[in-house]
């Protein structure tokens, strides 16, 4: 699909712009203008730039209750969600509680049979264990009935979550959520793992102040959860991920070490990973556990101290990830066809299938939403109920839209760009019609053509290794801080060929003012095919280093192409 190019900066200039000036423009595009904002963005400090965890309204209450459990020798239950953020959240909290010498019983639900959120099966397990204090992590805000059930069973529930805050809160003992209107915590965009980490910081500050440095070793899993859940890499998330990537390069987790070895993921102290490596290599393997089997394998991989157990679990996740890739590609092709045939002229894609694998519904919904620039829902239809996932576009807060239709849902939850729900089959058509009406109303004035934001127009002669060093200062890149993109006009095609499986990718040699450089466009081969030598094209791309045979060259990672205007 064609994308509308949106140039964010267009400075007036007659000659090459300096790397420092480019950095200033890129920061301005990201809303960073003052010297203090610049310092915090480029040089965040872990020790001073994180907020006081006791600014959460119920933090003192939750910490005191853990202290009581510690004095009484209680066992604590942790109910964690099944995705990468939920898994890492449960690992962060479990490690912190076990450092306090508390016994912990974790429960990770089955995605297919138990779904999202606190489940009665878990309460049964906790009750048999005699547990009186339960933490939910990365879930719980919508579990009013289940928390009321826990209360009746004599349990107190502490909700650690970051999802949508309903008008009526569940009757939990304490709620730790940065999105609570009453919260004074300075950063509201933490993921589940980041929120769990604030609880860990509070617990250590109260009970183990002399060992707070140990908490840094949790930042590898906190970074994984933050990137995997597509949190904006600004503010505190930027601190957690920036330091977390360093910890990841020297991780003490034998599970992660074995994952890297089994998956041929090149991470060590000499090769510090970037956020993209988490997004495309680490998080998919953790998520594969719940998508293809059961997420408890991923939880145990991150918790185990046994090298042999870690190897077996890493191999299991590697095989599941390969299966996930095949299944998700097949479903994406099917949903794409449904979208083009049934929803081509509509603003909302709503695909439902009896044979759709629930495990990859969210993954596929996100892929189609990105490709088509439309909010997309993918639901697996069961005998009486359908369960699935929504993924949205920046112009639409999907959880608010779904909330208006809540009377037609059995349960739902999520946040602005991603959500999940269960619907009785007899309500599917009515729900779609009502949701579509809301979406149409909210997007009535919105141009649905996908937009490609471009930071700056440059000349190829301005692209140097020194230039790239300035760009690297903005890392880590991800949601909320995309890798800088640049527009280059009137480049001459010297060579062009399609490469990769099915010749999906386009590899080019381009020339401008005597400067020759390489470019690769993933997925652009299908759309453009082979370009003719001598053609003049405008391109949008990211600048990357290409290491080959001991030398370093700069090349463009193409995001889009158009033929130059004559």
> What digits encode the pLDDT tens for the residues 329-382?
999 999 999 999 999 999 999 999 999 999 999 999 999 999 999 999 999 999
Q: If DSSP codes are grouped into helix, strand and coil, which group holds residue 4?
A: strand
Percentage of the chain beyond pLDDT 70 is 99
Question: What is the mean pLDDT of the segment spanning 276-291?
Answer: 96
Q: Which of 214, 191, 225 is nearest to 98 (CA)?
A: 214
Q: 64 lies in a domain?
A: yes
Chosen domain end from 407, 442, 477: 442
| Number of domains comprising the chain | 3
Question: Are both 351 and 389 inside the same structural domain?
Answer: yes
Residue 13, pLDDT score = 63
Q: Calculate helix-pair angle for 219-228, 235-249, nearest 10 degrees.
A: 120
Question: Are both 181 and 277 inside the same structural domain?
Answer: yes
pLDDT at 276 over 90: yes
Question: Are both 14 and 111 inside the same structural domain?
Answer: no
Q: Which of 382, 386, 430 is nearest to 411 (CA)?
A: 386
pTM: 0.92
Structural domain range at position 32: 4-40+452-563
Please give the mean pLDDT across all residues of the chain.
94
Q: 545 lies in a domain?
A: yes
Question: What is the mean pLDDT of the segment spanning 272-285?
Answer: 96
Residue 462, pLDDT score = 87
Question: Are both 429 and 459 inside the same structural domain?
Answer: no
Q: Specify the CATH number for the domain of residue 383.
A: 3.10.310.30
Q: Which of 242, 164, 214, 123 is nearest to 416 (CA)?
A: 164
Q: 331 lies in a domain?
A: no
| Burial degree of 171 (CB within 10 A; 0-12, 13-18, 19+) | exposed
Q: 257 lies in a domain?
A: yes
Residue 1, pLDDT score = 56
Residue 202, pLDDT score = 98
Return d(Cα 284, Cα 368) in angstroms, integer: 17
Q: Specify the CATH number for the domain of residue 552.
A: 2.40.50.460
> What digits encode the pLDDT tens for the residues 154-166?
999 999 999 999 9
φ/ψ (deg, to 5) at 421:
-160, 160
pLDDT at 566 over 80: no
Chosen domain end from 418, 442, 466: 442
DSSP E strand stretches across 342-460: 349-353, 376-381, 385-391, 411-414, 418-424, 451-457
Q: 329 lies in a domain?
A: no
Question: Are both 183 and 264 inside the same structural domain?
Answer: yes
Question: Are both 196 and 157 inside the same structural domain?
Answer: yes
Across 81-94, b (16+ Cβ under 10 Å) vs e yields bbbbbbbbbbbbbb
Task: Calculate the alpha carbon distances from 292 to 110, 162, 288, 352, 391 in Å.
Answer: 10, 25, 6, 19, 20
Q: What angle do CA 504, 505, 506 make, to 5 degrees?
A: 130
Residue 547, pLDDT score = 77
Question: Are both 370 and 460 inside the same structural domain?
Answer: no
Return d(Cα 235, Cα 49) in angstroms, integer: 9
Q: Which of 83, 182, 87 is nearest to 414 (CA)?
A: 83
> What digits encode the pLDDT tens for the residues 463-475?
888 899 999 999 9
Q: Specify the CATH number for the domain of residue 281.
A: 3.90.1640.30
Q: 333 lies in a domain?
A: no
pLDDT bin (cut points 50, 70, 90) of residue 449 is confident
> What digits encode the pLDDT tens for the residues 396-410?
999 999 999 999 999
Chosen domain end from 390, 422, 442: 442
Cβ atoms of residues 515 and 459 within 8 Å: no
Question: Are both 354 and 255 inside the same structural domain?
Answer: no
Question: Are both 404 and 512 inside the same structural domain?
Answer: no
> What digits encode the pLDDT tens for the residues 491-512?
999 999 999 888 889 999 999 9
pLDDT bin (cut points 50, 70, 90) of residue 490 is very high
User: How do 376-381 and 349-353 pair as beta strands?
Assistant: parallel
Q: Calculate helix-pair angle for 283-292, 84-99, nearest 10 degrees.
A: 100
Strands laid side by side in the 411-414 sheet: 349-353, 376-381, 385-391, 418-424, 411-414
Q: 332 lies in a domain?
A: no
Q: Calculate helix-pair angle for 144-152, 120-128, nearest 10 degrees.
A: 20
Question: Are both 417 and 385 inside the same structural domain?
Answer: yes
Question: Are both 32 and 83 inside the same structural domain?
Answer: no
Q: 218 lies in a domain?
A: yes
* Torsion angle (degrees, nearest 10) of CA 326, 327, 329, 330: 110
Question: Are both 58 and 29 inside the same structural domain?
Answer: no
Residue 461, pLDDT score = 86
């Amino acid at each position: 699909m064609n994308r509308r190019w949106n140039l964010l900066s267009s400075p007036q200039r007659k000659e090459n712009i300096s790397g420092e000036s480019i950095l200033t423009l890129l920061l301005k595009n990201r809303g960073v203008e003052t010297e203090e904002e610049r310092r915090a963005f480029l040089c965040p400090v872990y020790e001073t730039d994180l907020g006081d965890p006791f600014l959460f309204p119920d933090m003192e209450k939750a910490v005191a209750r853990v202290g009581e459990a510690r004095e009484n020798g209680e066992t604590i239950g942790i109910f964690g969600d099944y995705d990468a953020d939920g898994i890492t959240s449960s690992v962060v909290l479990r490690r912190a509680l076990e450092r306090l010498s508390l016994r912990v019983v974790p429960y990770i639900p089955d995605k297919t049979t138990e779904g999202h959120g606190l489940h009665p099966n878990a309460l049964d397990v906790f009750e048999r264990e005699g547990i009186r204090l339960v933490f939910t992590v990365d879930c719980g805000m919508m579990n009013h009935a289940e928390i009321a059930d826990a209360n009746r069973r004599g349990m107190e529930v502490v909700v650690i979550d970051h999802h949508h805050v309903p008008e009526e809160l569940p009757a939990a003992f304490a709620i730790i959520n940065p999105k609570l209107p009453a919260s004074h915590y300075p950063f509201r965009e933490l993921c589940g793992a980041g929120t769990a980490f604030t609880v860990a910081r509070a617990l250590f500050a109260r009970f183990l102040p002399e060992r707070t440095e140990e908490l840094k070793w949790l930042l590898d899993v906190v970074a994984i959860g933050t990137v995997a859940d597509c949190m904006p890499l600004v503010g505190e998330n930027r601190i957690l991920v920036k330091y977390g990537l360093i910890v990841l390069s020297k991780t003490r987790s034998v599970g992660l070490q074995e994952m890297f070895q089994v998956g041929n993921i090149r991470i060590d102290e000499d090769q510090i990973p970037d956020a993209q490596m988490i997004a495309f290599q680490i998080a998919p393997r953790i998520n594969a556990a719940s998508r293809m089997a059961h997420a408890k394998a991923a939880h145990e991989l991150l918790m185990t101290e046994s090298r042999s157990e870690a190897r077996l679990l890493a191999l299991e996740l590697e095989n599941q990830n390969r299966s996930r890739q095949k299944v998700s590609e097949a479903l994406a092709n099917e949903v794409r066809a449904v979208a083009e045939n049934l929803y081509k002229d509509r603003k909302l894609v709503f695909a439902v299938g009896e044979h759709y694998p629930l495990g990859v519904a969210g993954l596929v919904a996100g892929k189609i939403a990105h490709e088509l620039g439309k909010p997309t829902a993918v639901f697996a239809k069961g005998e009486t109920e359908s369960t699935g996932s929504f993924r949205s576009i920046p112009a639409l807060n999907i959880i608010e839209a779904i909330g208006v239709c809540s009377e037609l849902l059995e349960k739902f939850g999520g946040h602005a760009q991603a959500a999940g729900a269960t619907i009785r089959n007899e309500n599917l058509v009515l729900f779609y019609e009502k949701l579509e009406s809301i979406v149409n109303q909210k997007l009535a004035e919105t141009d649905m053509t996908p937009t490609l934001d471009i930071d700056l127009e440059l000349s190829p002669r301005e692209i140097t290794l020194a230039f790239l060093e300035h760009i690297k200062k903005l890392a880590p890149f991800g949601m909320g801080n995309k890798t800088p993109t640049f527009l280059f006009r009137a480049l001459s095609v010297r060579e062009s060929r399609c490469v990769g499986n099915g010749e999906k990718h386009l590899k080019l040699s381009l020339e401008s003012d005597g400067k020759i450089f390489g470019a690769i466009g993933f997925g652009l081969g299908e759309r453009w095919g082979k370009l003719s030598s001598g053609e003049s094209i405008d391109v949008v791309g990211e600048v990357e280093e290409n290491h080959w045979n001991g030398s370093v060259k700069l090349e463009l990672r193409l995001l889009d192409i158009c033929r130059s205007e004559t």
